[in-house]
Structure 1
Amino acid sequence: IMTVKGNCDGEVDQMVLDFPILADYALLSLDGLTVFMTHGHHHNTTTPPPLKRGDILLHGHTHILACEKFGNDNLYLNPGSAALPKAGNPKTYMIYENRKFTCKDFSGNVIFEIQL
C-alpha cells in the first residue's frame, strides 16, 4: 500500500496504522515511469509540482475519477474515493501492475485502465 498525507490526516491517525501515511508526497519510479503521488490539495493540475515531460501526477483530493493528459505531455490520474466518491462515481480504488493503472469499483468492475 502506498499512501500520502491527506488534508484531514494527522499524527493521531498514524498511531493506529501499520503503514506510513504522513508524507506530503511520494516520488515513485515504477518500471521506468515517474509518478508524483500527492493528496492534491497543494499540488494538482492547476498548481502542479515540478514535472518532466511524460511524468504522471496521481492525486485524489477531489474524489472524482480522472485519467487525462495535461501540461507538457503529462498524465493526471485520480483514483476517486473508496469512502466518499463525488460526481456520481461509485466507490473505487486503483492498482498498478506492469506499467498499467487500473481503477475498479468494489464489485471488481474495471472503471478505467491505461497501459503505458
Structure 2
Amino acid sequence: MRYLIASDIHGALPAAEALTTRFHEEGADRLLLLGDLLYHGPRNPLPEGYAPAEVAKLLNGYADRITAVRGNCDAEVDQMVLDFPCLGDYALVVDADTTLMLTHGHLDLSRVVAGLPAGSFVLSGHTHVKGIGPEVAPAFVKDAGAAESGSKEGAAETYTAPSARSSIIFVNPGSIGHPKDGSASYAVWDNGTVELRSLFG
C-alpha cells in the first residue's frame, strides 16, 4: 500500500488543497492524518488562508480514504463537521507485516509504543518539525529513554525498514499548515519505505 502522511494542517486551506493535489500525484491509496486538522490553536498565529470550514469540506471529499487521529487542537466540535473519525488518541495501520502507529505526539502513549512489534513505525506530528529517527520521537518516548532503540539514520530524508526489524522507527512528517523548520512537508509510505517530501517544492 501507498500512504500519504500529513500533520498539523491547522485550518490552512491552501496547504490542504496542495495536500490533496499531492495525494493524487503520489498515487496514494490512503491519507493518514496525524491531528490538528482545523483549529489554529491559541499559541499559533492564523495560518495563511485560514478557513477551517473549507478545509473540513475538502477533507470530507476524501472521508473514505482517511485515517485520522486527534491532536491537541482537535475537539468534539471538529468531529461534528468531519465525515471521518478524528478523535482517537492513536490508530494502528498494518501494511503487509509492518505496524504503523499513528498519534499526534502530545499524549503519553509509552505503554502502547512499548507493546509494538519490532520493526514498527511510530508516526507523529505536534512539533511541526520533520525528520526520521530517534530525535523526532514524541517527547513521552524520549522522556522514557525508549528513543535509544530507534533508527540511527538521523534526519535522513528516506528510510527503509531493515530486514531484521529489530527496532521502532520514528517519523514526523512536519507540518503542512504551520511548519517550524522552514518548509511545509509530508511523508510517503510505500511498502516498507518512508520518505519525507516538500509540499510546495
TM-score (norm 1): 0.78
Residue ranges of structure 2 left out of the alignment (5+ in a row): 1-65, 135-146, 150-166
- Kept in 1, the 8 Å contact 2:72–2:106? The answer is yes
Match of 1:16 among 68, 81, 95: 81
Between Structure 1 and Structure 2, which shows a larger proportion of helix residues? 2
Q: How many residues align?
A: 105
Deviations 1:28-83 (A, max 9, x none): 11121111111101147xx4622332221110011111101444321100010010
Compare the two structures and name the one with the higher strand fraction: 1
Which sections of structure 1, spanning at least 5 residues, go unmatched? Answer: 110-116
TM-score normalised to structure 2 length: 0.47
CA–CA distance in 1 between the matches of 2:79 and 2:96?
Answer: 29
- Structure 1 residue 92 corresponds to structure 2 residue 185: yes
Which structure has the greater CA radius of gyration?
2
Select 1:80's aligned residue among 171, 174, 181. Answer: 174
Distance (whole Å) between structure 1 residues aligned to residue 130 and residue 182 of structure 2: 7
Task: Give the equivalent residue in structure 2 for 1:113.
Answer: none
Higher relative contact order (CA 8 A, sep 6+): 2
Percent of pairs with identical residues: 39
SS at match of 1:8: coil
How far apart, CA to CA, are the structure 2 residues paired with 1:81 and 1:53?
27
Aligned-partner Cα distance in 2 for 1:65–1:79: 5
Q: How does 1:1-116 map to 2 (within 5 A)?
A: 1-43=66-108, 47=110, 49-50=113-114, 51-69=116-134, 70-72=147-149, 73-86=167-180, 88-107=181-200, 109=201
The 1:35–1:85 alpha-carbon spacing in structure 2 relative to 1, beyond 3 Å, is: same
Q: Are 1:4 and 1:25, in contact at CA under 8 Å, matched by a contact in 2?
A: yes
